[in-house]
Structure formats: C-alpha cells, structure tokens
Amino acid sequence: MSQQHSAADPAPATTTIARRRDWWRDAVIYQVYPRSFADSNGDGMGDLEGVRSRLPYLRDLGVDAVWLSPFYASPQADAGYDVADYRAVDPMFGNLLDADALIRDAHGLGLRIIVDLVPNHSSDQHEWFKRALAEGPGSPARDRYHFRPGKGENGELPPNDWESIFGGPAWTRVADGEWYLHLFAPEQPDFNWDHPAVGDEFRSILRFWLDMGVDGFRIDVAHGLVKAEGLPDIGGAEQLKLLGNDVMPFFDQDGVHEVYRQWRRVLDEYAGERIFVAEAWTPTVERTANYVRPDELHQAFNFQYLSTEWDAAELRKVIDRTLEAMRPVGAPATWVLSNHDVTRHATRFANPPGLGTQIRLAGDRELGLRRARAATLLMLALPGSAYVYQGEELGLPDVVDLPDEVRQDPAYFRGAGQDGFRDGCRVPIPWTREGSSYGFGAGGSWLPQPATWGELSVEAQTGVAGSTLELYRGALRVRREHADLGAGDTVEWLRAPEGVLAFRRGEFVCVANTSGESVTTPAYGRVLLASGELTEADGEAKLPADTTVWWTTA
C-alpha cells in the first residue's frame, strides 16, 4: 500500500505547482464526479471534503489536474447540470469553505483544479427564471431565456419542431400560455445569449471562481449557447440521429465564438496559465478546431476519438485527422476514452462494434479489460493532452444491471432521446476490499455497487504487479519522464501488420495490436511498458491480441 497522507498535512515544497508555460498542452487531467468519488460524512453521497481527502491518491497516480463535475447549488434534476446558483456549493457537497480548502490543498500537492461551468442553461429554480415566470409575457426578465408564443389556433403547439436531447419536444408550456426552450430536461431552460445581461453575468461568474483560485473551466455544451436567428424549424423528426453529423440551428452556430473571445480576455487577466476546455459536439474535428483558435479556448474534447471502435485503421484515421485539424490553430489534440456520459470503455470494447457509446450489455469482460488497458497505453502515447475518468484506472466496467427503480438519469425517464443508461458509469468507485461501500463512505452509496467491486478496489490493486492501477501509475510516470512523450503535433507511422498501429516519436515507439490474434513485429528497443505479456527473440517481438507496447530506442 502506498503511503497515505492527510489532506491537511503541509505539502513538501517540491510538490507546489510549477508555473511552467503551456502546462495544459501535455496535461493528464482526471475527471472527478463528486457524488461518486468519496463520501466524508456517511450520507451515501460523495462530497468536496471526500475529494479533498483523496487528493494525495491523485497526486501519487501522477495526474496534472483534476476536473470536478458540477457541485453548485442545484435541485439535481440532472445531477447538478441544472444550476440554481453558480456562486454557491450545494449543501449535499459542502460549502464554499470546503471548495476553498480543496483548491488550496490541491495546489499544495501540485495539482490544478478545473471546475465545470454550465452556460447553456440554468435550473428552473434559478432566480432569473423564477422571476421570468412571475413577471409574465413581455417582461424584460423573460428576454434572458427563450420564451415564445405557441403555434396553432390557441397557441397549443410548440413554437418550432426542435427536439430535446433527452427526448420529446424541446419546449414546455407555462400557465400563461407561452412556451420556453430547453434543449435538455424541462428543468433546464436555455439562456438567451443574445441578451447582454447573460454575457455580463457569466463573465462575473468566471471572475468569482478565478478569484477563488481555480485553474480553469470545462464548458458544458460549449457548442449550444447561440441559436440560429429566428429559431427556424429543422423540418423533420428524429433529429437526434443527425447530431454529430450536421450543423443544427441550436448547435455549433458561428456566433458562439465571440462569446469565447470575450471570455478569453477575462481569463487572460489572471496569472498562472488558466485554461478553458470545451465540450463541443461538432460534425467534424475541423469544426471543433474553431473553438481552440489562439484567441478563444485552449482545448476541446475529442469526441470523434472517443467514439471510434477498437480498430487500427479507424483509429489511425481519427488520429491523423485530429492532428491535422489542430495544427493550423496551434492547439493541442486531446484524447479521451470515457466520461460520466458514456459507457466506460472497458465495457464498450467488450461488446460488438456498432452499439454506440451507450450499452446495456456486460459483454466479454476479460476481453473488454484487455482492450481497455491496450487503448489506454495507445491514448497516453499520442501527442497532446489526455483525460482520465475516475475509476478507469481500476479497470471498472459499467454496472449494466442496475435495477430500474434506482436509476436517476433523467434521459431514462423520458423514454426517448438518449438511451438513459448513464447511471452505469456513475456508480461510486471502490477504495477498499471490504465495507458496506468498499471505502466510498460509512453510509453506503447512492447507487448500488456490485459484489465484485472489492477486488477492483484501490486497496486490492495497489502494489500488485500487472494490475490496471499499477499500469496507469507506470504509464503516467514514463510519460512524465520520457522526453518524447507529451506535447507535440506529429507521429511518424511505421510499417505494421494489418490490425496493428505502430508509430515513432523521437526515441519512443508505440505498437498497438487491435487484432484478435498474436502478431510479430520488430523489437524496437528496450520495453518501457506493456499492457500484456509479450515475448522477444532474435530482434522480433510477439504481441498477443489486444496488447500495446511502449519501447525506447535509446
């Protein structure tokens, strides 16, 4: 077991954040989903003090920064992505003093803190929206959201044909007859970003958290703020099937970029290389590059990579296309395999291709873990920045057999739109072999954990050669120490058998066998790390199926 540290202990001076330039270009950023990470008070729900107590674990894992999913005051209609007060911590997670202590302790341990920002919509319990309802049609308060009269003889039809991402119409009618727009749940009314008060408010919110010391913001639905003028009909049903394939009148509008230019000017007022990260679902990686031009945001999630199957040819295409798209704007590529909205890749890769990113099948778990480990080494070898979702370093699968009565994903209850199975990747993570919640907290967990969780815990894997946790620790250590890993924008592809990716970066070589059979490749030098067993003889290496190897030629 690695040495444990109290979060309250003073950190050695050597762990204080190094103010190096462009740290974000090769950062490994760890996503914490606060309600499922660690529970300090035994109420079954994770909290900020729980996160704070586990910061030494994240420091020892070797990540550079921690991204916290929303912990703001919220009715929790969508797990905190419905914000009622952007300057307050929800009591279920703690208070502002807890947030301040977490930020300070993280900095003392050499970790940066990135917080989620939700600018596309608020909660319907936000003071602005409650005032808009109270003041009625034609009031200035309603201009901060998208209120419209309905169509039909008596206004009984929605103002246009837009569909909610969670299924059903994107409009809800209020008692006075008007309708309001919500691209997500009815409890999440969309802001009207054409109104200057909205921009003023969010620039103030940015400064509030920057003054608290955060190192950046992950921008939720960064592609959705600006809507096409006049809110035109799309002209057909099943619009959600088009998402990611076409520019929609409510997503990826060009006007959104002026918002981010204004935000960048605010961020640049602060020292310490603060950053913006965009959750921007766009039709192409080339359009994603628009969000990370030099005067806008710093990074954008690479959803094209996340959505790619475990297939060498397809992976090479998306890697090349990503690097080519980012090069002209001077932004780093980002790579990610899992997050709080998609099936964990240990389960995704355990199932046949073509099922998408939401799967309710356990699949071949041994196969899924083997591929997940190999995919991780491939991802961490690529030029740019990488994101790790909590628990993937333990090889956690999705929990696919949650009883319907415990599910909380709002999309599950809508009966259309998203599949609604996001709860499976949000089950609280295990820290110890035993206990009612495997070390998550003294009072159980808000979603039930499988009986097998203990053997996947941090305690069970720490110090165990070949465990997934030690693979991650080793990979992040090598990534920090090897001069040819991290930042950059090119790879040199090497000849390889069908189903195999092989590339060089200086004196570093990565070979990933995505095929279902063993393959023979050159032995490129000294093995730094491998996701599975391999044999070498006479200058050749035999790689098992679904295995990635790192070599150094030095």
Q: What is the distance between the alpha carbons of residues 231 and 241, in angstroms, rounded to a whole number?
A: 20
Nearest to 158 by CA among 95, 208, 233: 233
Marked catalytic residue, from 22, 233, 269, 492: 269
Provide the token pair at 56.
């030494």
Provide the token pair at 359.
């799967």
Place of tokens 């309600």: 35
Provide the token pair at 374.
């190999």
Nearest to 163 by CA among 236, 88, 114, 112: 236
Produce one character per residue of 502-511: b if its CB has 16 or more CB atoms within 10 Å, e if not. Answer: bbbbeebbbb
Whole-angstrom CA distances from 514 to 25, 308, 531 are 27, 12, 12
Strand order in the sheet with 28-32: 299-300, 275-278, 216-219, 112-117, 65-68, 28-32, 385-389, 334-336
DSSP conformation letters of 249-295: TTSS-TTHHHHHHHHHHHHTTSSS--EEEE----SSHHHHGGGGSTT
Q: What are phi and psi of 536, to 5 degrees?
A: -130, 140
Q: How many helices, marked H, and strands, marked E, lie in the chain?
A: 14, 21
Q: Do 379 and 335 touch, CB atoms closer than 8 A? A: yes
Which ranges of 398-481 does DSSP label H, i.e. alpha helix?
Answer: 410-414, 458-461, 468-481
Nearest to 164 by CA among 186, 197, 132: 186
Q: What is the distance between the alpha carbons of residues 175 and 136, in angstroms, rounded to a whole number?
A: 10
Q: What is the distance between the alpha carbons of residues 217 and 275, in angstroms, rounded to a whole number?
A: 6
Marked catalytic residue, from 163, 220, 393, 423: 220
Q: What is the distance between the alpha carbons of residues 439 and 430, in angstroms, rounded to a whole number?
A: 6
Whole-angstrom CA distances from 226 to 145, 221, 248, 268, 408 are 12, 11, 11, 23, 29
* Residue 163 DSSP code: B
The residue type of 351 is N
Whole-angstrom CA distances from 496 to 408, 489, 490, 499, 507 are 46, 21, 18, 8, 18
Active site residue 64: no
Active site residue 269: yes
Beta strands in 19-156 (DSSP E): 28-32, 65-68, 72-73, 85-89, 112-117, 147-148
Provide the token pair at 20.
């190096």
Strand order in the sheet with 547-552: 492-493, 500-505, 508-513, 547-552, 526-530
Catalytic residues: 220, 269
